[in-house]
Every structure is written in structure tokens, then in C-alpha cells.
Structure 1
């Protein structure tokens, strides 16, 4: 049986939203159509992908596995279309993907000066987490933040930067120069606790192994809206927090957690001279 990529896209939308109505809006299709397509996919795979009741939709073990496999598969399909299209048009181009807070101007300018006929594009990939999958799909050589699944990638470290706690401007810790991660143990973290293992370990111990449900956000901007209204806090790389400066939130350095690692990445099978040259320029 061949897997239909369109059904996989539908599945990923529902898996990320965990809500059929929101997923249907995101896909611009009717909810009954989406539900029917998911049932067809389950029938084709002969598994149940979602457990649903009146209050919630959750992924089954089979659904979790399909989500892990579907994202890189869809990203590869997108990358294939882009590469074939560029080849058909005879484009001489190089695309750099970046994330909020990261400044790529110097390396891009240097590459353009060395190759005047080369079209160097700079794009900010779509996606909730700017994941490796969507980044590598649209970029020849993207900047990424660890941790990501590095299978199939060549990854070159570029720099590290401190991570900060982003808090409401009137928060009890807002005036501090630095804080410890233990100072945040009682806070509601607006991201996957596994992304901040130092907080996860302390909070889990205090709460006897229980976890507070984490909201799902499509962009950093949404997360910061929740911070500003006092619904929780988040931990971000310093450059990202600085990029989103606004008067109703502040960021404070967390002194006892690991820094964020920024890397350059590209598909392991790609060994073109331009990629190596750009990597050298980006590494300074």
C-alpha cells in the first residue's frame, strides 16, 4: 500500500492541534472531510491513530510513531519539489534558513560578494518550533537550535548563547539580574518540559511526578501573549527573547541551565562546494 502524502498532512495537522476543528481551519477544509480522511488513513494502516472522547483528542502509540515518521517524510517531499523546480528553471540560487534572533547578514553578504551571479535567499521557515524538518525542507543551509533529531544531517556548531526566563513585567523575579532554575519550580512552563530538563526534574519532584498540561502554540508570539497575561513563563535563548522585546514582559538570565547551541545543518548527502563555503563563512 502506498501512503498518501495528503492524508499524512491532514494527520500531522490533527496530531499537532489535538483538535479536529482547529486542524480543519488550519487546512482550510471542512471538519467532516478531515475526520473522514483520518478514518480512511486508519483503515489503510489498520491502526487507531487517535483516542477521542467528548473532552479531548490524544495520540495513540501508533499515532505517536506515525507523527515522528511523517514529519521528515513530508519535509523530504517538500524539499524534492523545491529542488526539482529550481533545476527545471535553471536557477543559480542558495537559500539560508534562519530563526528569530539569529542574524545571518554577514555570512550572506560575504557569500554574495564572492559569487555575484548567485541569488542568495534568506527565509524564516514556517512552523511552530522551527523544527529541523521544516527548516531543512526549505533551506539549502539552515541555522538550527539544538536539540533536534540529527539523523541524516551534517551539523556544524556555530555558537552558544545563554537562556533566559521570560516573565510578565510585574513578576516577583522581574527585577533580578540572574535567577536559578529552582526559582521557577512553582511556575507554569509554557513549553514542553523536556526542552528545559533542569526545570522538569525539579518541578516533577515537587509535584510528585505529575505534570501540568502544556498549551500548544504555533509561534513564539502566541507563547509571549500568554506570558504577558500571567498564564505562565517560558525559557528562550537570549537572542530570541531580545528579538521579541515588548514593554509588558521581561527576560532574566537563568544562571544554572545549559546554554543554547546554534548550529548550521544540511542534508548529509549534499556535499556541494557552496555549502562548505557558506559553513566556513558562517563559522567566522
Structure 2
């Protein structure tokens, strides 16, 4: 049986909304049409995907499994569509994604100089979409900061760099040359703890040091605004902290935090020779740059 991608998209919308009415509005179709399509999809899969009554819609175990598998499948299909469309254009394109603090000018120029007919573009990403851009085909390669979900990706390590804590300028720790992570145990971390796994392992860390919900922050600038307003602290790679400077925040090295690992990522299914050529350029460039603290190679 071939999986119908249209029905799969309908399923994902319902699974994310857990409400047929909202999902139908999101998909711009009538709710009865959506209900029929989901029932037909369940019949094709020979599995019940939702338990639904008048008050709620809940995923079954089969539904949860399908949702986990559906997202990367749909992303791959979208990436395929984008790559085919780009191949159909008279002038080929190559897009490089990068995280804040990482400069890719030299690499972009190098691939462009090797292929004068190639249109080279760049796109800045964030913690939330640094891998999605390659899954969805919006970028051919992406400079990512670990940890990331590596499913469906190929990764090539490039370099590591120290991590620092960003504090308000008048914070009690602001004047120190360096600190240990344990000295931050009472602080409110503004990021998703998945971005700083060591944070969860801190001994004697209060279960709920701050009752306020963690803000949803999509950019470094937003993190710095919250830090400056005493809304919490942020752990950032050194290059990011030094790139986004402002007078009311400071950054302090953290002794017992390992370096942030930067890798080049691309979709497993992307077989373009340009990708492998760019990987070689990026690796050579990373090896040539001194990234020790205080260096100015980047």
C-alpha cells in the first residue's frame, strides 16, 4: 500500500490540534471532509489513529507512532519538491544555513568562485529550526550547534568553542574571571534545558526556582533582552556572546562546561555533488582557523 501524503498531512494537522474543527480550519477544508479522509486513512492503514468522542480527541498508540514517523517523511517530500524545482531553474542554487555567531562568508565565496553559474544564498537559523531547514529543503547544508536530532541527517564535525554564561551587568557574578556551573544553581535558565544538558545534572538544583513559565525565545536578541531585565541567565557559545554585545550584559566563562560542538549537517537523501564539495571546503576552512579563546580568525 502506498501512503497518501495528502491524507498524511491531514492526519498530522489533527494530531497536532487534537481537534477536528481547528484542524479543518488550518487545512482550509470542511470538517466533514476531514473526518471522512481520516476514517479512510485508518481503513487503509488498518489501524485506529484516534480515540474521539464529543469532548476530546486523543491519539492511540498507533497514532503516536505514525505522528513520529510522519513529520520527517513529510519534510523529506517537501525537500524533494524544492530540490526538483531548483534543478528545473536555468541557474542552479546552493543555500547555506548558519547559526548566530558563525560566519560563513569565506565558504560561500569559495563555492561561488568554483561555480560562477551557481547562485549562492545564506539563511540564518535558530535553535528551533537549524535542522528543519535541510529536512524541508530550504537549505542544502546547515551549520548546526549540537545537540540536535540526527535522524535523517548526515553530520560532519567542524570545531568546538567554549561556552559562557550571559548575565546582567550588575549581577553578583559579573566581575568574575570564570565560574563553575554550580554557582548558577539558583538562577533561572532561559533556554530549553535540552540546549544545556549539564544543567539538569546540577546537584541541589531547586525543582522550581522560579514559578514563572519559561519564555518562548526565538532569537539571541530576545534572550539578551530577558537577561538584561533580570529575567534569567543564558548559556551561549563564546562567538555568539561576543558577536551580540550590549552594555548592560556581560559574559563569563564557565569552567566545567564542555565546548559547544559545531557540525555541518545535510539531508541524508541529498546526493548533490555540490554538498560534498562544500563539506570539503568547510572542513578545510575549520582546520585553518585558530578558534582558541582570544583568537580573531573568525
Paired residues of 1:129 and 1:219 also in contact (CA < 8 A): no
Q: Name 1:244's counterpart in structure 2.
A: 244
Paired residues of 2:49 and 2:60 also in contact (CA < 8 A): no
Name the CA distance, whole Å, in 2 between partners of 1:72 and 1:207.
Answer: 36
SS of the residue corresponding to residue 50 of structure 2 reads coil
Paired residues of 1:143 and 1:263 also in contact (CA < 8 A): yes
**Structure 1 residue 63: Cα displacement:** 8.9
Q: Name 1:182's counterpart in structure 2.
A: 182
1:119/1:131 Cα in 2 relative to 1: closer, same or farther (>3 Å)?
closer
Q: Name 2:229's counterpart in structure 1.
A: 229
1:168/1:84 Cα in 2 relative to 1: closer, same or farther (>3 Å)?
same
Q: Name 1:130's counterpart in structure 2.
A: 129
1:100/1:209 Cα in 2 relative to 1: closer, same or farther (>3 Å)?
closer
Paired residues of 1:142 and 1:266 also in contact (CA < 8 A): yes
Paired residues of 2:168 and 2:229 also in contact (CA < 8 A): yes
Name the CA distance, whole Å, in 1 between partners of 2:195 and 2:201.
Answer: 11
Paired residues of 2:217 and 2:223 also in contact (CA < 8 A): yes
**Structure 1 residue 121: Cα displacement:** 1.2
Paired residues of 1:140 and 1:266 also in contact (CA < 8 A): yes
Name the CA distance, whole Å, in 2 between partners of 1:174 and 1:42.
Answer: 56
**Structure 1 residue 6: Cα displacement:** 6.1
Q: Name 1:47's counterpart in structure 2.
A: 50
Q: Name 2:12's counterpart in structure 1.
A: 8
| CA-atom RMSD in angstroms | 3.8
Give CA-to-partner distance per residue, 1:162-220, whole Å, 9 cap, x none: 111111111111112211101111101111223222221115x4336999653322333
Give CA-to-partner distance per residue, 1:233-270, whole Å, 9 cap, x none: 11111122222212222111111111111111112233
1:210/1:246 Cα in 2 relative to 1: closer, same or farther (>3 Å)?
closer
Q: Name the count of aligned residue pairs.
A: 262
Q: Name 2:116's counterpart in structure 1.
A: 116
Paired residues of 1:42 and 1:48 also in contact (CA < 8 A): no
Q: Name 1:98's counterpart in structure 2.
A: 98
Q: Please give the residue correspondences for 1:155-170 in structure 2 after superposition, counting only pairs within 5 Å.
A: 155-170=155-170
Question: Which structure has the bigger radius of gyration?
Answer: 2
Q: Name 1:107's counterpart in structure 2.
A: 107
Q: Please give the residue correspondences for 1:17-56 in structure 2 after superposition, counting only pairs within 5 Å.
A: 46-47=49-50
Give CA-to-partner distance per residue, 1:94-129, whole Å, 9 cap, x none: 11111111001111111111111111111124x662
1:240/1:116 Cα in 2 relative to 1: closer, same or farther (>3 Å)?
same
Q: Name 1:207's counterpart in structure 2.
A: 206
TM-score under structure 1 normalisation? 0.76
Q: Name 1:143's counterpart in structure 2.
A: 143
1:78/1:110 Cα in 2 relative to 1: closer, same or farther (>3 Å)?
same
Structure 2 unmatched ranges of 5 or more: 43-47, 286-298
Q: Name 1:55's counterpart in structure 2.
A: none
